[in-house]
Amino acid sequence: MKSLLKCLYVFSNILLVGTLGFSNPLKTKGALEGQQGLIATPIMKLEGMPHQLLGVGVDVNGKIYVSRKVRTNEQFSLLRYPYLHETCMSLSSMEEKREAIEKLYPRVINSRKNMDYNNDGVLNLKDLSTRSDKIYTLQDLDQDGIYDKAKLFAEGFNDLLAGSAHSVTPIDGHVYATILPDVWKLKDTNGDGVADQRESIAHGFAPHFGYGYHDLHCLVQGYDGKLYWSMGDRGVDVKTVDGKRISNPHSGCILRSNLDGTDFEIYATGLRNCQYFDFDDYGNIFSVDHDADFQGEMERLVYLPEGSDSGWRMYYQYRTSTRHMKSSRNTLYNPWMAEKMWVPYHKGQPTHLLPPIENSWNAPASFSFQPGAALGGKYQNHFFLGGRGEIRAFQMFADGANFKRQGDDIIVSGLSDQVLTSTFAPDGKLYFTLWNRRPAISPLWTLQDIERSPQTNDVEILLQKGFSVYSSEQLIQYLHHADRRVRLQAQFQLVKNKSMTELKKSVLDSSQPLLVRLHSLWALGQLKDRDSDLIKTLAKDQQAEMRAQLARFAGDLGYDPDQVLVKLILDPSLRVRAMASIACGKLKQASAFQNLTQMVVENDLKDKVVHHSGIVGLAGCGTAKQLKSLSKHPSEALRLAALVALRRQGSFQELIPFMQDPSEQVVSDAIAGAYDISGQETETVHEEAMTMIATKLNPNSRDAINIRAIAANRRIGTAKSAKRLLHFAKEKEAALSMRLEALLTLESWNTTSKLDPVDGRYFPVKQGDVDALKTISGSLWRLSEAKDLQISEKTIAVLKNIPMDSDQLKFIHQYILNSNNPTDRRLLWIEWLAMKDRDLFESIGKDLLVDLSPDIRRMTAEKLYEHNASNKVLHAYLSRTIKTSKHTLELQTGVKLLTASIELEPLLEKLFEEMRQGKVPQAIQLDILEAVQKRAEANANLMKQLQDYQKDLKQKSLLEQYQVSLKGGDVKAGKSIFLSHPQAQCSKCHAIKKEDQQVGPSLEGLSERHNIDYLLESIVDPQAKIAPGYGFSQIELQDGTVLAGTLMEEHAQHTKLKLPDSSIQLIPQEDIKKQSEPIGMMPDLKNVLNKRQIRDLVAFLATL
């Protein structure tokens, strides 16, 4: 649950103080031994050094740059201010965001009393422009391998909109930093160690408040010399240094520009919070994108070709409750989950997105590619992924135009916290930061080989020396080097030297290694070499990868005078086809249209990257008219590609023919495409298309169609639309969730709304025709008697918005009083009548309070209390109920209502005394205690009773002190706590189903294994009983050796311990001198949950 962080903090302290007695001297200072002789070591002194580090970068001379988080509270975030949800969704530019903050801040400061950062005694906007995140350089003064001095390199990033300094990357004498809302280029021009020159090369990131920390990350110089970085799903609204406005407001993305900010462009979209990514040796980008914290969902390993859309939109986040935030209701449709966009390709998945390669590991962050000579050459060509307390490595291999993962080695584990950022330095080490808020733990570490290799030394010397001293011929030879950093620096120097002749000779020499030729080609791309003969020659190269890279080269160059790319679209290699399709789309080559259609048909959805690339090509090369003409093509794959291409173009009307397709997948994707690109003017400008969507409401259609058809009818808002919705709601063959959605839509008919009912984006919808509901009133009355209680309930809710005549009120009156009618229906009408006609409801309240059904009595009492807490009839009912009722919920309600009047306090005093004597049911004891606490301040007798009770309670065991939370909880409320309580964070570590296993043990079948006493104890005293495999223990052997790790099993003959490097050690019992009690990972929830919340959580857990 909440903090695994807490337990890891304990573990790391054990490690860092050197009590584990490792035989290797490197481990005496808290180092951890990893796989293949790799060692993870803390390298920063704690005292007097910056903490809460985010980014780390290392220049060619080995100078360390780190960024420190300071602005922890200044950023607006929906995690902190969920009531700003609608405002957040409405924002699309930085100007709008600044204006919103200036307007909203007076409201916000009422909940933030400790934000007088400029110490002027006044809380105002100036406080948000006072503090700044900082960038430091580090020094090791005594040369002991531990950095002990920090020098401030840059600060002053304190604009009202400024965020966190997540990434810092030295490149070619400059230092680049990502600090919302800018990407900064910094330089120390006079050598004093302080940046005296700064320039924003891109401004306008995060127009939304959004989820916190979905920020700018990961500055990487790519194969083409450009600067690449990522932006979380708070959006992009950038005004470039070229004066262009480029916007991608609703999803995370990968971006790139030249090092001076020119040629800024969005490279890939549809990401949530793809914090860190890296290239392989061939310029392919991979990453692990974060999940949305939805129960059952997982992270995604993604390949990100240019122009790709991975499907995520930021407004999906608020459609499903998480441990951080609650959605407005639990039944909101969420396209991300309902249409399974987050899983690898499956039949029925929307085709506008490029599916992930696979679902991936929990809590991904740092992501770095081993460039060759680093770590002594170990794990070459592997990606290193930082997770919670561990670093793992894997490789990616081509699989058609796509890729597949191979391997999953946990290189090192047992680290104190989240491995946040990482970078391979010239000295061959992987430098990485640990995100923690505790100054007692070093936030900066390295992963290194236990022995430096000669190759590592060679690379370090080369990078420090630089490459300007070498001739072009020598630089070409360095393109043969085993380390990518050396090859890239040689490539970049060849570009500076403008060595066209040598580069062309190298790229055309088929006897050269492939990587040598590729670096030569990339250098020519940087030099913008428009050589048509070179393009024609390489298009015929025997190596498919060379042809693929040639396609990308020509696309980036914007140059293909001989239509070579058009031919490559039908290349035998799928990767070449994909690259050529993307390039043709960028060049908008109309002549490529026919080959693109042929390629898509031949692929027939088999290779998802080829299909997605075909979409990119068609969107760039085809006109809306051409794409529309494909609606009659026999290939379903081509029709799908064409409609998604139209969606990308924003072509609305042309999607109409696809909505009448015989394939449900085509219809679904066409409707989704039109719906998703529609704007507020759609109902009038594109009335035909919106009407077409509205008429697609069908009980036999998939939910993805019906939910948008329901919303389209609401947007149109006519009597005809209302009739469609009601007709659908009556269809028993339709999915119950969709029938309910139709009724909810009718319920909201007379109101305006700001957020779209399908995906949650900002899309104001005006009130429907005010007379429309009257035309369906009779049918609604009949539907209110439906056998399905939920249908009946929602229908009655719609009827609240329609005026009733006297005959209808009389019917309801008689229905409620007739105890022969179903109780659940009577309850619905009681609630309706209490809201609709207060006087009539009170007139029958006396009769209802003596009804045979305890549920009828309970709801009547609650409604009467809301109307008039001093009602004498209500008081008589409460006195009677407390004495005679055997119904738990009625008793709980009765106890709660005892606080309604001072006249009832004697009854409460008596009840509390009986509770202390053990004479009342356990299920209402907490309710009695809460009622007493509420009235005690005004009642001396109750206060004396309460003080005596609390005094006695202190003498009892911890479990006895919480016995009031054992029984009587609300299962529904408990489930909400489990899934979405922001501090408890139960679902962060525990999965309800075994297949969704996370950090803690699965809870499936929990109630079959344990009674409720155990469940309560696990919450209030989590260290009392620890499940095997989830507790940390320290064992001292007879020879003095001390081992520490996860206690997996204990037997009469041996104890099984999992060590920090993930190895398993069986320790004979006779070798054990002393063993500590295991420390569990489960946090102490009584510090974050009150007794009622604990009771509800116990009730929910007891259902699993």
pLDDT digits (tens, 9 = 90+) for 63-83: 999 999 999 888 889 988 889
Cis-peptide into 1083, omega within 30 deg: no
Higher pLDDT, 523 or 124: 523
Q: Residue 910: which residues within 8 A CB-CB, separation 6 or more? A: none
pLDDT at site 1075: 82
Question: Picking from 15-19, 540-544, 915-919, which range would have the lowest pLDDT averaged per residue?
Answer: 15-19
pLDDT at residue 437 above 60? no
Using CB atoms within 10 Å of the CB of residue 928, give its burial: 0 to 12 exposed, 13 to 18 middle, 19+ buried.
Answer: buried
Q: Is 205 helix (H, G, I), strand (E, B) or coil?
A: strand
Q: Residue 309: which residues within 8 A CB-CB, separation 6 or more? A: 268, 269, 270, 352, 353, 354, 612
DSSP readout, 615-670?
A: HHHHHHH--HHHHHHGGG-S-HHHHHHHHHHHHHHT--GGGGGGGG-SSHHHHHHH
- What value does the mean pLDDT take over residues 1029-1051? 78
pLDDT at site 29: 60
The Cα–Cα gap between 610 and 70 comes to 45
The Cα–Cα gap between 830 and 818 comes to 12
Q: Judge whether 533 and 539 are in contact, CB under 8 Å.
A: no
pLDDT at residue 113 above 90? no
The secondary element (H helix, E strand) that includes residue 1035 is strand 1031-1037
Smallest Cα–Cα separation from 384: which of 417, 403, 408? Answer: 408
pLDDT at site 474: 97
pLDDT at residue 834 above 80? yes
The Cα–Cα gap between 247 and 328 comes to 28
Amino acid (1-letter code) at residue 163: G
pLDDT at residue 860 above 90? yes
pLDDT at residue 146 above 90? yes
The Cα–Cα gap between 905 and 935 comes to 8
Q: Judge whether 328 and 315 are in contact, CB under 8 Å.
A: no
pLDDT at residue 883 above 70? yes
The secondary element (H helix, E strand) that includes residue 9 is helix 4-16
- Domain 31-68+135-449 bears CATH identifier 2.120.10.30: yes
The Cα–Cα gap between 380 and 409 comes to 13
Q: State both tokens at 143.
A: 């040369």
Q: Is 633 left (phi over 0), alpha (psi -120 to 50) or beta?
A: beta
- Domain 466-703 bears CATH identifier 1.25.10.10: yes
Q: Is 212 left (phi over 0), alpha (psi -120 to 50) or beta?
A: beta
Q: Judge whether 179 and 167 are in contact, CB under 8 Å.
A: no
pLDDT at site 14: 32
pLDDT at site 632: 97
- What value does the mean pLDDT take over residues 830-836? 89
pLDDT at residue 717 above 70? yes
Whether the CA torsion 397, 399, 402, 407 is positive or negative: it is negative
pLDDT at site 212: 79
Helix, strand, coil proportions of the chain in percent (round to 5)?
45, 20, 40
pLDDT at site 25: 29
Smallest Cα–Cα separation from 348: which of 37, 619, 702, 634? Answer: 702
CA 120 vs CA 75, 77, 103, 449, 674: distances in Å? 20, 25, 21, 52, 53
pLDDT at site 1065: 80
Amino acid (1-letter code) at residue 27: K
Whether the CA torsion 694, 695, 697, 700 is positive or negative: it is negative
Question: Token pair 């009832």 is at which residue?
Answer: 904
What pLDDT, in 10s, does the model give residues 961-970? Answer: 889 989 999 8
Q: State both tokens at 755.
A: 């957020």
Q: Parse the chain into domains and list their residue ranges.
A: 31-68+135-449, 466-703, 704-803, 804-965, 971-1022+1083-1101
pLDDT at site 9: 31
**CB count in 10 Å sphere of residue 305:** 22
Quickly state the pLDDT bin for 4 (edges 50, 70, 90).
very low
Smallest Cα–Cα separation from 1097: which of 975, 1013, 986, 960? Answer: 975
Amino acid (1-letter code) at residue 933: Q
Q: Judge whether 781 and 758 are in contact, CB under 8 Å.
A: no
pLDDT at residue 24 above 50? no
Smallest Cα–Cα separation from 434: which of 163, 60, 169, 40? Answer: 40
pLDDT at site 17: 30
Quickly state the pLDDT bin for 2 (edges 50, 70, 90).
very low
pLDDT at residue 35 above 70? yes
pLDDT at site 978: 84
- What value does the mean pLDDT take over residues 625-649? 98
What pLDDT, in 10s, does the model give residues 992-1011? Answer: 765 554 556 677 888 788 88
Q: Judge whether 382 and 494 are in contact, CB under 8 Å.
A: no
- What value does the mean pLDDT take over residues 899-918? 87
Higher pLDDT, 1036 or 869: 1036
Residues in a beta bridge with 77: none
CA dihedral 1087, 1092, 1096, 1102 (to 10 degrees): 80
The secondary element (H helix, E strand) that includes residue 1057 is strand 1054-1058
DSSP readout, 964-1010?
A: GGSS---HHHHHHHHHH-TTT-HHHH--SSGGG--SS---TTHHHH-
pLDDT at site 994: 57
Question: Picking from 99-108, 395-404, 432-441, which range would have the lowest pLDDT averaged per residue?
Answer: 432-441
CA 137 vs CA 57, 60, 63, 902: distances in Å? 10, 14, 7, 67
Amino acid (1-letter code) at residue 743: L
Q: Judge whether 808 and 781 are in contact, CB under 8 Å.
A: yes
Residues in a beta bridge with 287: 277, 302
The Cα–Cα gap between 857 and 842 comes to 13
Smallest Cα–Cα separation from 640: which of 668, 617, 621? Answer: 668
Domains 466-703 and 971-1022+1083-1101 share a fold: no
Residues in a beta bridge with 271: 252
Quickly state the pLDDT bin for 11 (edges 50, 70, 90).
very low
DSSP readout, 525-563?
A: HHTT---HHHHHHHTT-S-HHHHHHHHHHHHHHT--TT-
Task: Give me the percent of the chain exceeding a pLDDT of 70.
Answer: 93
Q: What is the DSSP letter of 766?
A: P
Task: Give me the percent of the chain exceeding a pLDDT of 90.
Answer: 66
- What value does the mean pLDDT take over residues 188-215? 94
What pLDDT, in 10s, does the model give residues 316-362? Answer: 999 987 766 777 777 899 999 999 999 999 999 999 999 999 999 88
pLDDT at residue 704 above 90? yes
List, edge to edge, every strand of the sheet that includes 149-157: 53-58, 64-68, 133-139, 149-157
- Domain 971-1022+1083-1101 bears CATH identifier 1.10.760: yes
Q: Judge whether 4 and 433 are in contact, CB under 8 Å.
A: no
Q: Judge whether 1066 and 1042 are in contact, CB under 8 Å.
A: no
Smallest Cα–Cα separation from 961: which of 951, 974, 969? Answer: 951
3-state secondary structure 780-819: HHHHCCCCCHHHHHHHHHHHCCCCCCHHHHHHHHHHHHCC
In residues, how long is the chain? Answer: 1104
**Chain mean pLDDT for the chain:** 90
pLDDT at residue 1025 above 80? no
